[in-house]
């Protein structure tokens, strides 16, 4: 298993490397680059674990209908559900293992369950599936098994976004977390923007021009602000700006700020030649970006700031978009599942770039994407490693195409043009993250600094940064120390 050292920290999700490297991956020696998922062969050969039980602790999904459950009881004639049911069944049969799923509330799963179990020396779980933002910072508590050199796991295979995984590590200090195609929720929480084609046509003419703007590299923060001016309409006639009116877009001062920020190419961290992260956020470009974001939130009449709640992003904003009262819905791929009953056609485009000089559109994978890890007390490392590889392989080969090609592109998307599909591929292939975003809660909140600024209705980035920098550096030093203790 090869764990790459990152010289740059922006990458394509299809395979590890920098943005733009995906198309050249075959020339760079990626032997799997041109294989279709259906042609790939399982990397777990002749493994028979004699009916061993693998206890999988995972976050609760019933309260959130867009999350794909781990434990699917039966086939119901729905393409994605059935693909994951068959995935679990095949992995169990191929490896001769059984799964016991243990579902718990995911908000503090690692802290409440895993930490107590490991610190008491109990062997309660074999595999952990937790939310990235709450799980990964717990690495300093020495809870997880080091997967460097673990049997069966091969990060060079296309179902592991190896550069994304490497962004969760420090140098060669150990590998504790996996994510990627093993979970459908990894794609569901990549950011994208929906635009109402009818509303666009009413104001600007041919809605396909929106696709061309994207393909021409001209979809920027300034372009969003320009388009949004003049869209406001006092629908309820009360003479006040309120939730009952028409806007170009709705935002919240919470998670959407993350996606504006990192999709605009703002970096919180860089890497030295040994793969050690350091802070790079305090720059003129970031300060200028903060002003642009403030303008979109508070100085453009086409923008509406909604309460900073999940209800706003998951229900109210999509409902307003579906009703034709928003030109754009800035969100995630999973929002499409909430637009099934929308009568007006919509298109899907990426978040805007900072400016036209930004090389690529980016799509942040939100900090609640699932990560997979093995508790330090686990006595079945071989069995769990094989199960992780087999689950990722089967998801990549069957379940992911079922969602991506059938559900997302055909079932949810209202546009079957070549440009529309090209842009969806672009969004998927250019996912991004940042070490400080992943480890934010161990870094004094530095990865989410734009939330604080927008929440306080300020764009004074430098002052806010200086207030949190010292404690953030202390947190970073602790993370580096933790990883270096386990370096080869």
Tens digits of per-residue pLDDT, 314-356? 999 999 999 999 999 999 999 988 888 888 999 999 999 999 9
Q: What is the pLDDT of residue 16?
A: 43
Q: What is the pLDDT of residue 40?
A: 66
Q: What is the pLDDT of residue 413?
A: 66
pLDDT tops 90 at residue 364: yes
Q: What is the pLDDT of residue 361?
A: 98
Q: What is the pLDDT of residue 97?
A: 97
pLDDT tens track for 258-294: 999 999 999 999 999 999 999 999 999 999 999 999 9
pLDDT tens track for 168-216: 999 988 999 999 999 999 999 999 999 999 999 999 999 999 999 999 9
pLDDT tops 60 at residue 372: yes
Residue 39: pLDDT band (50, 70, 90) is low
Q: What is the pLDDT of residue 408?
A: 76
Q: What is the pLDDT of residue 488?
A: 61
Q: What is the pLDDT of residue 12?
A: 41
The least confident of 417-426, 450-459, 463-472 is 417-426
Q: What is the 3-state secondary structure (H, E, C) of the chain?
A: CCCCCCCCCCECCCCCCECCCHHHCCCCCCCCCCCCHHHCCCCCCCCCCCCEEEEEEEECCCCCCCCCCCCCCCCCCCHHHHHHHHHHHHHHHHHCEEEEEEEECCCCHHHHHHHHHHHCCCCCCCEEEEEHHHHHHHHHHCCECCCCCCCCCCCCCCCCCHHHHHHCCCCCCCCCCECCCCCHHHHHCEEEEEEEHHHHHHHHCCCHHHHHHHHCCCCEHHHHHHHHCCCCECCCCCCCCCCCCEECEEECCCHHHHHHHHHCCCCCEEECCCCCEEECCCCHHHHHHHHHHHHHHHCCCCEEECCCCHHHHHHHHHHHHHCCCECEEEEEHHHHHHCCCCCCCEEEECCCECCCCCCCCCEEECCCCEEEECECCCCCHHHHHHHHHHHHHHHHHHHHHHHHHHHHHHHHCCCCCHHHHHHHHHHHHCEECCHHHHCHHHCCCHHHHHHHHHHCCCCCHHHHHHHHHHHHHHHHHHHHHHHHCCCC
pLDDT tens track for 139-151: 999 999 999 989 9
pLDDT tens track for 65-96: 778 888 898 999 988 889 999 999 999 999 99
Mean pLDDT in residue range 463-470: 97
Residue 418: pLDDT band (50, 70, 90) is confident
Which residue segments constitute the domains of the chain, with CATH numbers given? 22-188+368-412 (3.40.190.10), 191-364+432-484 (3.40.190.10)
Q: What is the pLDDT of residue 263?
A: 98
Q: What is the pLDDT of residue 45?
A: 64
Q: What is the pLDDT of residue 19?
A: 27
pLDDT tops 50 at residue 22: no
pLDDT tens track for 233-249: 999 999 999 999 999 99
Q: What is the pLDDT of residue 414?
A: 67
Mean pLDDT in residue range 109-136: 95
pLDDT tops 50 at residue 7: no
The least confident of 252-256, 402-406, 462-466 is 402-406
Q: What is the pLDDT of residue 403?
A: 85
Note the pTM of the prediction, 2 decimals.
Answer: 0.91
Q: What is the pLDDT of residue 13?
A: 61
Q: What is the pLDDT of residue 306?
A: 96
Mean pLDDT for the chain overall: 89
If one compares 41 and 130, the residue with the highest pLDDT of the two is: 130
Q: What is the pLDDT of residue 35?
A: 56
pLDDT tops 70 at residue 363: yes
């Amino acid at each position: 298993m090869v764990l790459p050292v990152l010289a740059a920290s922006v990458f394509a999700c299809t395979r590890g490397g920098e943005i733009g490297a995906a198309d050249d991956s075959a020339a760079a020696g990626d032997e799997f680059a041109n294989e279709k998922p259906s042609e790939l062969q399982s990397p777990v050969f002749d493994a028979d674990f004699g009916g061993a039980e693998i206890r999988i602790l995972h976050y609760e999904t019933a309260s959130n209908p867009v999350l794909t459950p781990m434990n699917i009881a039966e086939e119901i004639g729905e393409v994605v559900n059935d693909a994951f049911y068959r995935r679990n069944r095949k992995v169990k049969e191929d490896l001769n293992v059984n799964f016991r799923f243990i579902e718990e509330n995911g908000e503090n799963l690692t802290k409440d369950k895993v930490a107590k179990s490991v610190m008491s020396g109990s062997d309660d779980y074999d595999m952990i599936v937790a939310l990235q933002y709450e799980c990964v910072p717990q690495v300093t508590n020495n809870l997880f098994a080091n997967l460097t050199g673990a049997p069966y796991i091969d990060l060079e295979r296309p179902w592991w976004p190896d550069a994304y995984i490497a962004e969760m590590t420090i140098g060669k200090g150990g590998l504790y977390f996996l994510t990627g195609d093993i979970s459908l929720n990894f794609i569901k929480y990549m950011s994208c923007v929906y635009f109402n084609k009818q509303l666009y046509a009413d104001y600007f003419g041919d809605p396909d021009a929106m696709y061309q703007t994207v393909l021409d590299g001209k979809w920027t923060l300034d372009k969003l602000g320009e388009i949004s001016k003049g869209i406001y309409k006092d629908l309820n006639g009360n003479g006040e700006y309120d939730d009952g009116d028409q806007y170009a877009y709705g935002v919240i001062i919470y998670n959407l700020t993350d996606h504006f920020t990192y999709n605009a190419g703002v970096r919180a961290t860089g890497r030295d030649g040994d793969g050690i992260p350091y802070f790079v956020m305090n720059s003129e470009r970031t300060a200028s970006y903060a002003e642009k974001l403030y303008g979109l939130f508070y100085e453009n009449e086409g923008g509406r700031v909604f309460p900073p709640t999940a209800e706003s992003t998951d229900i109210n904003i999509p409902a307003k978009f579906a009703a034709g009262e928003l030109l754009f819905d800035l969100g995630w791929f999973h929002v499409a599942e909430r637009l099934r009953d929308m009568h007006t056609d919509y298109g899907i485009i990426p978040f805007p770039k900072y400016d036209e000089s930004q090389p690529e559109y980016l799509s942040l994978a939100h900090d609640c994407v699932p990560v997979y890890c093995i508790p330090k007390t686990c006595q079945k490392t071989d069995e769990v490693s094989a199960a992780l590889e087999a689950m990722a392989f089967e998801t990549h080969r069957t379940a992911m195409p079922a969602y991506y090609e059938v559900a997302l592109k055909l079932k949810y998307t209202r546009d079957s043009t070549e440009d529309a599909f090209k842009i969806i591929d672009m969004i998927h292939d250019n996912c991004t993250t940042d070490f400080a975003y992943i480890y934010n809660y161990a870094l004094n909140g530095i990865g989410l600094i734009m939330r604080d600024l927008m929440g306080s209705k300020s764009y004074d980035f430098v002052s806010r940064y200086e207030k949190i920098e010292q404690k953030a550096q202390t947190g970073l030093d602790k993370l580096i120390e933790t990883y270096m203790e386990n370096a080869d």
